[in-house]
Amino acid sequence: MIYRRQKLLLQIIKRLSEKGISSKTYLVKAIFLLRQKLGFEKVAYDFFPYKHGPFSNEIYKDFNFFEAQGLFDEEKLSLTEQGEEFVKTIETNETVLSGLEKIVSEYSNLNALIGFVYEKYPEFTVKSEKIQRKEQSGNGIYSIGYEGKTIDCFLNQLIQNKISLLVDVRKNAFSMKKSFSKKSLENYLKNAGIGYLHLPGFGVDSEKRKKLETKQDYANLFADYKKNLDSKKTEIIMLEGLGKKQKIALMCFEANKDYCHRGVLSDFLNQEVVHI
């Protein structure tokens, strides 16, 4: 199955190829500008600050998928004959392609496009190798859930809040969203300059999470969880110590911390926790 965002990306690749543009960096920056102007609903890609400004892991994952399907030649940044035929079957996204035309007409070369992006969106240049700056992340404890987020949106939120260590408090660091399973997540974080620490002892057994339907169900689960925290004083002190040395973020799935055990854990700590 090819997703809506992938169909759009194929159309963008084709249009840039027709313009004689074969730079992946140009493509990524152009889609970033489209994302900023039109929003996620229209473009379906998120971005985070990386070595050369805003970057999207999802775009490169889709490149790999296209190549595996025989639709795309990444080296040439162009569609194969099979890809060209497939694009003919896709309904043209006039809104996005019209926006792309404006970008290409205003910024005909890569340097001009990068210059504009760096000037207009400095928050996405904080990891850029082009700019030398001293990072002062400070310290403190944050919390974040990845529910409803792409990996790129998730990384961006961590970077914008200057998180240097992600503390995974899931019992089992596995997710149906493959990007958030332990090994993949750790690699994404490493590439973004963020450390990873899995503390399964702070998690909740999956059996206990089944059939949580009412507020009372959650209240009962969290009351039991809080009792267990009383026996983890050594681990709690260690966690608080990490937060005094750097900015850390406690991570689990749920977007709303009130429906996640990390909310209970946050309240248990002797430090204020900022919920992203």
Burial class (CB in 10 A: 0-12, 13-18, 19+), 7: middle
Please give the CATH topology (third level) of the domain spanning 140-275. Answer: Protein-Tyrosine Phosphatase; Chain A (3.90.190)
Does position 207 have pLDDT exceeding 90, yes or no? no
Q: How many CA atoms lie within 13 A of 191 on its CB side?
A: 17
Q: What percent of the chain has pLDDT over 70?
A: 98
Q: What band does 214 get if pLDDT is binned at 50, 70 and 90?
A: confident
- The contacts of residue 276 (CB under 8 Å, 6+ apart) are 142, 143, 144, 157, 158, 161, 249
- The contacts of residue 257 (CB under 8 Å, 6+ apart) are 143, 145, 263, 266, 275
Does position 133 have pLDDT exceeding 70, yes or no? no
- Kindly calculate the radius of gyration of the chain based on its CA atoms and give it in whole angstroms: 22
Please state, in angstroms and as integers, the Cα–Cα distance from residue 78 to each residue in 10, 18, 20, 22, 90, following that order. 9, 9, 10, 7, 17
What single DSSP character describes residue 90? S
Residue 90 · residue 11 · CB < 8 Å: yes
- Taking each helix axis from N to C end, the angle separating 24-38 and 110-120, rounded to the nearest 10 degrees, works out to 40
Task: Locate the domains of the chain by residue range.
Answer: 4-124, 140-275
Q: What band does 83 get if pLDDT is binned at 50, 70 and 90?
A: very high
Dump pLDDT digits (tens) for 164-201: 999 999 999 999 999 999 999 999 999 999 999 999 99
The whole-number average pLDDT for the span 232-250 is 96
Element of type H or E holding 222: helix 215-229
This prediction's pTM: 0.93
